[in-house]
Every structure is written in C-alpha cells, then in structure tokens.
C-alpha cells in the first residue's frame, strides 16, 4: 500500500500529522553559517549524515564546501556511495566477515574511504581484508574524555598507529576523537602530544579530526585539529538552542502535530508520541517545545500520544483538531523514524525526499 | 540498494548486528498463554498489533482465538485490512478530512471497523463522514486514572454516548479505557457506573474494553470488562519481567549486538545504540539487560553505541568481536526501528517478515 505523502505545492497546514517538516531557507542558512565558521577556523568540514540520512541534503553540504561526509555504518556509506559521494569517513569499528567484505567492495567503488579503529582486534580484521594494491586509510580513534570508544593515551594511539603502518593493506591517515562537552583543551592537548609521539616514531599525522555538535562553535578552540565533524547543525533542535549554537528561528525541523484530546482542564493530548519525537530527553525534563505555547509542557509520551501539561500555560491552548508545531529535543533521532522527509518554503511543500539511509542499520 | 537480510536456515550467530530476533517457540507459547488467561477471565482478547506490526504474527494471535486486532492509526489498520483482517479497533481520535476519508474507505472494505472518541469535536467529524447506510461503530474512551485521553466521568461518557446514538451514521458500541497501573478497581467502578447510567438512558453497552500490558495478568480483576487489549505479551521484555508477567525465559525478542570496543578496564561498547534499543527507560536506570552479564550496565546510548559499565561485573565480559544478546526494556518501540524482523528456532532462522506497519504513522 502507498502512504499519502504530499505533492509539491501542498500547504503544510494540509499535511497529515504527525510529520516533521524542514524549512528550506533555514536549512540553507544553517549549512552556509556552519561551513563559514569551520572554514574561518582553518579546518575542513565533514558533516555527519546521521542527522538527515538524505543524499540530496548531503549534496547541499558538499556544494557549500564540505570536504566529504561522515557515516557511522557500512550500509549508510553504501547508500551515499550509490548517490555519488566519493569521500566518506565511517567513524565506527568495523568487525566481522560480512561487514568487512562489504567494506572492501565499497573501497573499490569510491575514491576516498576511511575508517577508524581503537583496538588491535579491529585492526586485525581490516588488515586481513585489505591489501597493498589498494590500501585502506585508517584513523586511530582517541578517547579525549568523551568516554565512549577510543584509545586512552597518546602513547596507545601511537602504538596502534605503528601497527596500522606495519600493515601493507592499511594506511595510517591520522587520529580522530568524539570529545566530551567542554573538552576542547583536552582534545588539543591529546592531539599535540600524539602528533609529537608519532613524529618521534617517524609517522606523519595528516588528519586530526575533531567532532561533535554539543560544542560545535568551540571547534576553533582546538587549533591542532584539521577537520571537524558534526551533524545536528543542519536542522538544529532544542538542544542546540540550549547550547547557544542557534536561535529558535534557526531551527529548520518542526514536527507538525494535531491536538487530539482535551480531556481535562490542564491536559491536552497531541498525536506525536515517541514514534515521532522519540524518548530522547538530552537532559531536558520534557519531550519538546510547542511553538507559541512554551509554558505547555510535554510531560509524557506513549508511542502515539504526547500528554501536555497546561498548568503553567497562561494562553489559550488550541482546540481539538488544531495543528501545532513541536520543536524536538533531538533532531537526528526523528529523521530515523520517517521513511520520507517533507521540505517546505514559507509553508508550501517544495520536495519530498526519501530518508534513504533510514533502516541502514549495519 | 538491498540490505543483507538473512536467508532461512542461517544461524543467528552469523547474522549482522545490531538486529532483533524473535524466538518462534517463545512467541507461540506467549500467544497461547495470554489467550488462555483472557479466556479463563471470561473475556474476549484483542491483541494490539503495535508490538509487532506484522500481519503474520497477528494471524497467529487470531488463530489462537483472538477476536480481532487493535491498531492505533488508520494507516496501520489499512495494512492489516490489506492482509485480510476484518475486525479492527482503532483506539485513537480520528480527526481531519484526509484521515476521515481514508477511514470511510476502510470501513467499506472490512466487516467490523470500530473507533473511539472522547469529545464532541471528534464525534462531529465522524458524524459528517459516515451515514445510515453503513454506520460506523464508535466506543467512548474513558479516563479511569491513566491520565491520557478519555472522558473524565461516567456522566460525561453517557452524554457522549447519547450524542453518538443520535447520529444516523454512527453506532454506539460501548466504552473503552487504557487504565493506570494498579487501577483495576477504578476501571471496574467506572464501567459499572457508566453501564448503569447508560441503561437509565435506554442505551446498551455491549463492549466494555479494558487494556494495557503493565497490568496484563490483572485483567480478571475487572469482571465487568468484556474485552482486554494488550500487545507487549507477544514478545515480552524486561518491563514485563519486572511486572511479574513473565520470566526471563519467556522473552521472545533479543537484540543481537557485537562488542565493538573495550576502551577501558570497566567499559565496553556495543553496536546497539538508540537506533536499536531506543531511549525508552520505562523506569529503569539503564537501557537493557545483557544476557549472562546482568551486572554489566548499559549506562548510556548514542545512536550507534551502547556504553556498558563493567564496574560491578564479576565475570569476564566478552572480547571485541563477540556477539551478546540484549533484552530490551520495551519491545514495541524496537519493532518500530527495523524494516524486517528475523524469527528463529533454536538459533536457526525460520523466516524474515516485513514489519509491514512500520512507517504507518498516520
């Protein structure tokens, strides 16, 4: 069966809800502004496609000056390679026979594939898959305080880089980190020390890749980084406003929702549940902001219902059947819930794009 | 492009991760046990398809004796109507021209479509859409303490039932509630009083539909209910174990994941992030249980990473590249993240089903 995706020219007031929509002008402005900032910081920019998962949006980012793109999974990279992207960094430890085989096919297809490793175990799989005829570029992931993946010290990074360098099928291309919020100085220190130790071992470190949206406009505080990776800026969201990276008027994604119930004086129910907003709180105590009704709090979600507490809302909340616009806490995870994304300019639908890498889980 | 879904006969140890898998025997046993309990309670059973979104699984539920199915959206109901289901209750206020038009088409297609309302506003839309030639069955949703949708009092339920009864295109079919946990007595009181008030107005109340998984095995404590609706029991999850509704060995869904990093002594990272497990905590302080490593805590998720704290884990945690099995907090939301679902018996893939109603958001 075919779901009723809207035609170009439809007014967003006439769209079915719940549905995220993307403001074309804000999207374009976000791309321009972020690209300019990273360039002014003397770095190359590598947008993370996880926020949109749409080749056409990545094309806008590359056309604006981005050097390449950042994916997290081999299957995501395949989608973007099929769409013509040639410079793809996969920031994930690729393990297992089937994923390594697909990675090799991908490497034969595009010009500049790169991956990360943070262990000898991951390196061993890569080394057994690639050969000297067409070596794969590999970066060492470093934990500079983010406490996710990554080697723990510059010394460990150097040792792993030497192991990469010793493999005929692999090319040591540099280092990479996904830092803690507020960790710019730690990143800088880690990079400087690692570059020094690598140099002592006769190894260059051409790529020093820093990343992250929570600290996006602190990228210039890491002068030793050559590249920055980030995704959320392209649409922006409530967390980016809180971080001071944008204003409410820079948020390109809204979730259109309908008031479906007004069961009690201080309670309204919207049709955007966790299947539209997700349960990501990102430190907030509620699940999104309703534009124009900021004191109305989305206090709980079930899959298809958002319960709104109107206790502190002094303005009349819309009646049953009315459409409202919800700013999500976290835009990336919303993209992952919808098969297509609707774009508009001044409320008129401009295009409907497949969220092509949604479902690319491996 | 085609993602590498596995063939029947594949061993689950050879599947790419992250991936949820369903144990056929546990699934079948869960269906049998729940159906028997509801029948013993003297009620009809109406499984909620949101947990699986797969017609073949709903067919197993109906074959076991379920009277019909419960959907939440018109588009979900369309998927199941296309698959041959004739008795579908949509427990949602349907609003707006396009959804009402689709609802009418659906009503003309299947034998027993029913919807709920909790306001005159929603009723008005239905009344304008349906006519006396083929009236639509409508239930009044009642808030018995769950504080989501629903009229607040038996008197309000009766008034709304009278409004339904006054419409030539609508048929008052009964009342429905999604109760609070532990609210069996409140549900019973609400039903008894509403039935009494309806009778005083000359209205029968043939369907008294109670629901919910958190209190599933308390369904018999509401003797006045004629029907129970629930979804989670079909796969079960960590929340159902906590509620005492099943044992660990009754959980049919596991998420297969791979250890992708062991960056520090007390930290491991799995490849099942919020895109596989979701951020649903459901009152837990961590994001799932790792089978065999219950003291290892999944303390944070990003979209593709699960960070595991091993501080309290006294047994050796698996090495990089090893597969682990994660019990999700909430199974329904996991189904919504994958295009297909892999079923197995004793670790051998038996079938791969489209999650046909995933993406049916309207």
A23 inside 8 A of chain B by CB? no
Residues of chain A with Cβ-Cβ distance to B3 below 8 Å are: 75, 359-362
B211 inside 8 A of chain A by CB? no
pLDDT at A150 exceeding the cut of 80: yes
Spell out a b/e string for A202-221, using b for 16 or more CB atoms within 10 Å of the CB, else e.
Answer: ebebebbbbbbbbbbbbbeb
Name residues whose C-beta falls within 8 Å of residue B84's C-beta, 6 or more positions apart in sequence.
B55
pLDDT at A216 exceeding the cut of 80: yes
Flag residues of chain B having pLDDT under 70.
1-3
Q: Which residue of chain A comes nearest to B20, CA vs CA?
A: A361
Position A158 scores a pLDDT of: 98
Residues of chain B with Cβ-Cβ distance to A262 below 8 Å are: 119
> Span A248-252, mean pLDDT?
97
Query: Using the beta-carbon criterion (under 8 Å), do A1 and B79 form an inter-chain contact?
Result: yes
Position A214 scores a pLDDT of: 87
pLDDT per residue over A12-38, tens digit each? 999 999 999 999 999 999 999 999 999
Residue B191, judged by CB atoms within 10 A of its CB (0-12, 13-18, 19+), counts as buried
A362 inside 8 A of chain B by CB? yes
Name residues whose C-beta falls within 8 Å of residue B152's C-beta, 6 or more positions apart in sequence.
A263, A264, B143
Q: Which helix (H) or strand (E) holds B342?
A: strand B340-345
Domain B12-19+245-354, architecture per CATH: Beta Barrel (2.40)
- Give the distance, in angstroms, between the CA of residue A35 and the centroid of all CA atoms in the same chain: 15
Q: What share of chain A is helix, strand, coil (3-state, %, to 5)?
A: 35, 25, 40
Q: How far apart are CA A45 and CA A36, in angstroms?
A: 10
Closest CA–CA distance from residue A137 to any residue of chain B (Å): 19
Position B134 scores a pLDDT of: 97
Q: How far apart are CA B300 and CA A148, in angstroms?
A: 9
CATH of domain B41-235: 3.20.20.10
Spell out a b/e string for A57-74, using b for 16 or more CB atoms within 10 Å of the CB, else e.
Answer: bbbbbbebebbbbbbbbb
User: Are B186 and B144 a contacting pair, CB within 8 Å?
Assistant: yes
Closest CA–CA distance from residue A110 to any residue of chain B (Å): 16
Closest CA–CA distance from residue B322 to any residue of chain A (Å): 9
Which of A97-105's residues contact partners 24+ apart within 8 Å by CB, and which partners? Answer: A98/B4, A98/B14, A98/B16, A99/A74, A99/A362, A99/B16, A100/A125, A100/A126, A100/A128, A100/A129, A101/A129, A102/A74, A102/A75, A102/A78, A102/B4, A103/A74, A103/A129, A103/A136, A104/A129, A104/A130
pLDDT per residue over A111-122, tens digit each? 999 999 999 999
Among B residues 258-277, those touching chain A with beta carbons less than 8 Å apart: 258, 260-264, 267, 269, 271, 274-276
pLDDT per residue over A160-169, tens digit each? 999 999 999 9
Closest CA–CA distance from residue B28 to any residue of chain A (Å): 25
**Coil vs helix vs strand at B221:** helix
Query: Using the beta-carbon criterion (under 8 Å), do B17 and A102 form an inter-chain contact?
Result: no
Position B277 scores a pLDDT of: 96
Residue B331, judged by CB atoms within 10 A of its CB (0-12, 13-18, 19+), counts as buried
How many Cβ pairs closer than 8 A exist between chain A and B?
185
Q: Which residue of chain A comes nearest to B151, CA vs CA?
A: A263
pLDDT per residue over A290-305, tens digit each? 999 999 999 999 999 9
ipTM, 2 decimals?
0.96
pLDDT per residue over A70-113, tens digit each? 999 999 999 999 999 999 999 999 999 999 999 999 999 999 99
Closest CA to A302 of B287, B87, B91, B53: B91
Residue A266, judged by CB atoms within 10 A of its CB (0-12, 13-18, 19+), counts as middle
In degrees, to the nearest 5, what angle opens at C-alpha B31 toward C-alphas B29 and B33? 65
A149 inside 8 A of chain B by CB? yes
Closest CA to A260 of A248, A268, A251, A250: A268
pLDDT at A1 exceeding the cut of 50: no
Backbone angles phi, psi at A190, to 5 degrees: -65, -45
pLDDT at A344 exceeding the cut of 80: yes
pLDDT at A127 exceeding the cut of 50: yes
CA torsion, ordered B46, B115, A20, A23, to nearest 10 deg: 170
Residue A132, judged by CB atoms within 10 A of its CB (0-12, 13-18, 19+), counts as exposed
Tokens read off for A134: 């067409």
Position A2 scores a pLDDT of: 56
Mutate to test the interface with A, among B91, B106, B271 (most CBs of A within 10 A): B271
In degrees, to the nearest 5, what angle opens at C-alpha A83 toward C-alphas A77 and A84? 90
Position A112 scores a pLDDT of: 98
B118 inside 8 A of chain A by CB? yes
Please provide the DSSP assignment of A148-202 as one string. Answer: SSSBSSHHHHHHHHHHHHT-TTEEEEEEEE-PPTT-HHHHHHHHHHHHHHHHHTT
Closest CA to B137 of B119, B114, B159: B114
Domain A41-236 has CATH 3.20.20.10: yes
Closest CA–CA distance from residue A104 to any residue of chain B (Å): 15
Alpha helices for A41-153 (secondary structure H):
55-63, 74-82, 97-109, 120-129
Q: How far apart are CA B93 and CA B119, in angstroms?
A: 9
Q: Give domain limits for chain A.
A: 12-19+245-354, 41-236
Q: How far is CA B14 from CA A187, A202, B320, B342, in A?
A: 38, 41, 16, 13
Q: How far apart are CA A26 and CA A218, in angstroms?
A: 22
Tokens read off for A213: 């949206």
Position B225 scores a pLDDT of: 98
DSSP code at position A319? P
DSSP code at position A17? S
> Span A200-219, mean pLDDT?
96
Closest CA–CA distance from residue B283 to any residue of chain A (Å): 12
Tell how many helices (H) and how many strands (E) occur in chain A.
Answer: 10, 17
- Average pLDDT for chain B: 97
Q: How far is CA A98 from CA A211, B4, B92, in A?
A: 28, 9, 43
**Coil vs helix vs strand at A146:** coil
- Average pLDDT for chain A: 97
Alpha helices for chain B (secondary structure H):
24-40, 55-63, 74-82, 97-109, 120-129, 154-165, 184-200, 238-242, 274-277, 331-335
User: Are A93 and A143 a contacting pair, CB within 8 Å?
Assistant: no
Residues of chain B with Cβ-Cβ distance to A100 below 8 Å are: none
Shortest CB distance from A148 goes to which of B307, B321, B336?
B307
Name residues whose C-beta falls within 8 Å of residue A306's C-beta, 6 or more positions apart in sequence.
A257, A269, A270, A271, A272, A273, A277, A287, A288, A298, A300, A326
Residues of chain B with Cβ-Cβ distance to A269 below 8 Å are: 148-149
Tokens read off for B140: 């009044």
């Amino acid at each position: 069966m075919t779901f009723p995706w809207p035609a170009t020219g439809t007014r967003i007031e006439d769209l079915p809800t719940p549905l995220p929509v993307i403001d074309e002008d804000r999207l374009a402005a976000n791309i321009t502004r972020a690209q300019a900032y990273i360039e002014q910081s003397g770095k190359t920019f590598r947008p993370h496609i996880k926020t949109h998962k749409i080749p056409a949006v990545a094309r806008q980012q590359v056309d604006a000056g981005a050097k390449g793109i950042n994916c997290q999974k081999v299957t995501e990279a395949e989608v973007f390679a099929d769409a013509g992207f040639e410079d793809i960094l996969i920031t994930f430890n690729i393990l297992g026979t089937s994923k390594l085989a697909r990675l090799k096919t991908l490497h034969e297809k595009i010009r500049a594939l790169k991956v990360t490793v943070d262990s000898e175990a991951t390196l061993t799989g890569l080394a057994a898959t690639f050969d000297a005829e067409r070596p794969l570029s590999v970066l060492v992931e470093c934990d500079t305080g983010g406490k996710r993946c990554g080697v723990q010290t510059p010394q460990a990074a150097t040792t792993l880089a030497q192991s990469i360098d010793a493999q005929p099928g692999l090319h040591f291309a540099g280092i990479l980190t996904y830092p803690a919020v507020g960790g710019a100085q730690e990143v800088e220190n880690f990079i400087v020390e690692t570059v020094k130790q690598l140099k002592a071992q006769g190894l260059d470190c051409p790529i020093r890749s820093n990343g992250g949206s929570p600290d996006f406009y602190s990228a210039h505080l890491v002068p030793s980084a050559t590249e920055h990776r980030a995704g959320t800026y392209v649409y922006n969201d409530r967390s980016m406003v809180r971080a001071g990276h944008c204003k409410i008027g820079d948020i390109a994604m809204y979730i259109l929702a309908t008031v479906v119930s007004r069961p009690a004086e201080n309670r309204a129910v919207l049709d955007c549940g966790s299947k539209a907003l997700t349960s990501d709180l990102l430190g907030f105590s509620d699940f999104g902001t309703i534009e124009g009704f900021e004191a109305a709090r989305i206090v709980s979600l079930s899959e298809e219902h958002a319960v709104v507490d109107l206790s502190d809302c002094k303005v009349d909340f819309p009646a049953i059947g009315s459409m409202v616009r919800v700013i999500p806490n976290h835009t990336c995870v919303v993209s992952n819930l919808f098969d297509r994304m609707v774009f508009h300019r001044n409320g008129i639908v401009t295009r409907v794009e497949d969220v092509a890498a949604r479902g690319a889980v491996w």
